[in-house]
Chains A and B, each alone.
Chain A
Amino acid sequence: MLLSIRSLTKTFPGTRALDAVDFDLRAGEVHALLGENGAGKSTLIKCLTGAYRRDGGTVMLDGAPIDPQSTAMAQELGIGTVYQEVNLLPNLTIAQNLMFGREPRRWGLIQGRAMRMQARATLAEYGLSLDVDRDLGTCSVAIQQIVAIARAVALSGKVLILDEPTASLDAAEVRMVFDVIRGLRDRGLGIVFVSHFLDQVFDLTDRVTVLRNGRRIVTEDTASLDRVRLIEHMLGRELEAATGHPSPDRVARPPMLDIRGLGRRGTIEPFDLAVGQGEVVGLAGLLGSGRTETAELLFGLLGAHSGGARDQAGPLDLRNPRAAVAAGFGFVPEERKTDGIVADLSVRENIALGLQARAGWARPIPRAQQNRLADDYIRRLDIRTAGREKRVGDLSGGNQQKVVLARWLAMNPRFLILDEPTRGIDVGAHAEIVRLIHGLVDQGMSLLVISSEIDELIAVSDRVIVLRDRRHVAELTGTDIAPDRIMRAIAATGKAA
């Protein structure tokens, strides 16, 4: 066994990111590491590359225990990493990037010719013949990734960790990078491959390990793995409390919003979406399938290249978030800490923020009104806080999420987008948020809910749209909204949806 990890544990304040995870990597295999956001993939990788120190467990490389404390140290030990981006320097030439820190020198001066020759020789091993004097920034992303891989292999040479290396490549470029990876596997390297493109995982890897909520769920040979079961492992399926579908019969709803052909090249294929008043539409799909992008397009965070939206009164302007808010839209983003709350402001200020932004800076909302507003929502949403003047950053995740919700509810939107509303929230608050969602619908608000947790989607949605590879591929209603149906739709390969 090349790399052997036993009961690796890493704890951050409030969360256990890795909980006694075992992981084995053989020499000469490509091992996929899969999991949704927060599963612990990146924590595991960072523990291996020395970016984090582990709290417990052992890591053995070639039979000897290791404890890398920096990226440089991990490299010396033999563990190299290539990230999705920011690996190399676009302003240096290919040769400079490849040979950086190992330039051949004489009397302290870099020997340019020898450096270029070595760089060409290194690239020739990968079947590439390039002008090594070109600036790396002028090369295609695939070439940049291969140069990054070549550099990582030259520096370390035992274990290669590829963290979403294909996320910004097109199909031909992916093949090119895969050929390089297969070549390295045949040379006996152990390769950890992180990706959320399942097709690529089945195409390239020998074994798969799935992480969820910081635990290892399963390790299996890719060849014997069933797609649907893999997705079950990734998304989890504990249907202990079958909350059931809220209202499977309510079908005839007055239409509220009609979206036609909305799309953005390279981000999401054009899609149609009609939302009725008081309807909850769920978006299901794996990480990177285009769920969040759909929401960002609707809210004007991303500019659309085609299509548009209209309601009963006529076309809607959704060119930017401000216009979307004016159209009665709201958006509770996935990254609560960075995009949702303003951590250093108080609960009151966070709740009043949206209303104040709409009113404009020239018309401050009177303090008394802000107090009323804050107290009202603290009571209605049961926000556990020492008071309305408490710093939001000091609240727990669930209560922070309620503050963000309160901000939008105060503006009384007709269409609210919730991106992973229960991410990183403890179980109790989780149920409360779901209850809140039901309450909103009863008031006639329309919702778009994005969630990785299928049970949650089933519990709240009237209709579920399934996304795969940046495309809306299926729509499920009524009794079709069931875990196995959703997973089958996610798992289906290109042909049948």
Chain B
Amino acid sequence: MADLETFRSETRTWLEANCPEEMRQPVRDEEDVYWGGRNAKFKSEAQKSWFEACVAKGYTVPAWPKAYGGAGLEPAEAKILREEMARINARPPLSSFGIWMLGPALLKFGTEEQKVHYLGEIARGEIRWCQGYSEPGSGSDLVSMQTFGEDKGDHWVVNGQKIWTSYADEADWIFCLVRTDKADKYQGITFMLFDMATPGVSTKPILLISGNSPFCETFFDDVKVPKEQHVGEINRGWDVAKYLLGHEREMISGAGGGDRTSAIGVAMLRQAAKEGGDLDPMLRAELAMFDIDALAYGAMGEKFLDEIKVGKAHPAQPNMMKYVGTELNKRRHELMMSAGGSRSLEWDSEETSGGKPSRGWLRTKANSIEGGTSEVMLNVIAKRILDLPGA
């Protein structure tokens, strides 16, 4: 315990010295997020110096081993770092699908050589990754995917189409599920890695109801992928994919579901006072009911992370976290829209920073679809946790 207290005070001192004031402000828009990659540009000196300090310390990926660019922190230390960063509202130095998704898969299934090479690149923010999972005909039923890699001896030739590839148009590399055996549904998929600059790869952004295009369609037309560029065994990519989906669900579940609305409540109270009225009692009640659920979910998030560290969490528990967290986040944005009234309907006004409330509200509708729908989550909970009968 004494060691942990020392670690906490050292961490405080380090953060005080290295996290610039500007990096302690809430993230306002996409530009405030640093994604790394070949074409990345820093928005400001502060963003750059915070990122570089974290890379040097291993704090872009604090829990990864030092050999792969991390800081090798023990779970208890990593929790302290999270707490101390949260205490000063420090922004994440680097956001990356490499950190959240590919990294955990490589740590579990990668060869030593792959770990040193790819994890290091991710930790240093050199390569920006995207994920090739869903296809037009394979959403919830992901394993029915058809993108095919034909065996050509020392390489595969990949043909097919992926969809909902997040930021594919800005990514450097893709981790991608490719069918390599048409005869075996589950054991006929290989988890491949390849450069998005490879000839035959093209992307097309999809315009969403929010007016933004965070997702793409990604097309593969005779794309040559060297044989060594796969994670796990050939034809056993489904194991990697399932493992990774667990991580994705954890990640999405942490995306704001635990945030409270009390700030909305207080802001509304002020607004109402200014306009000479009262906070609508029915809306106030809804806000309180939401805060109850959000704070309870926040406790669950903390418990879940504590349990996962010591292997006490049920392996299917991320599905529950994802289900509840995403449904909460949708509810939160509905309440924020109601709280904002007609102002929050504005689509591109300066006052709303370009329609942030309405576009953000629409964006949350994807939360309970992407990474496995709420309905699929409930199926998994019913079968794997409650052990209910049936297919």
Does chain A bind chain B?
A: no
Chain B residues in contact with chain A, CB under 8 A?
none
Question: Residues of A with Cβ closer than 8 Å to B?
Answer: none
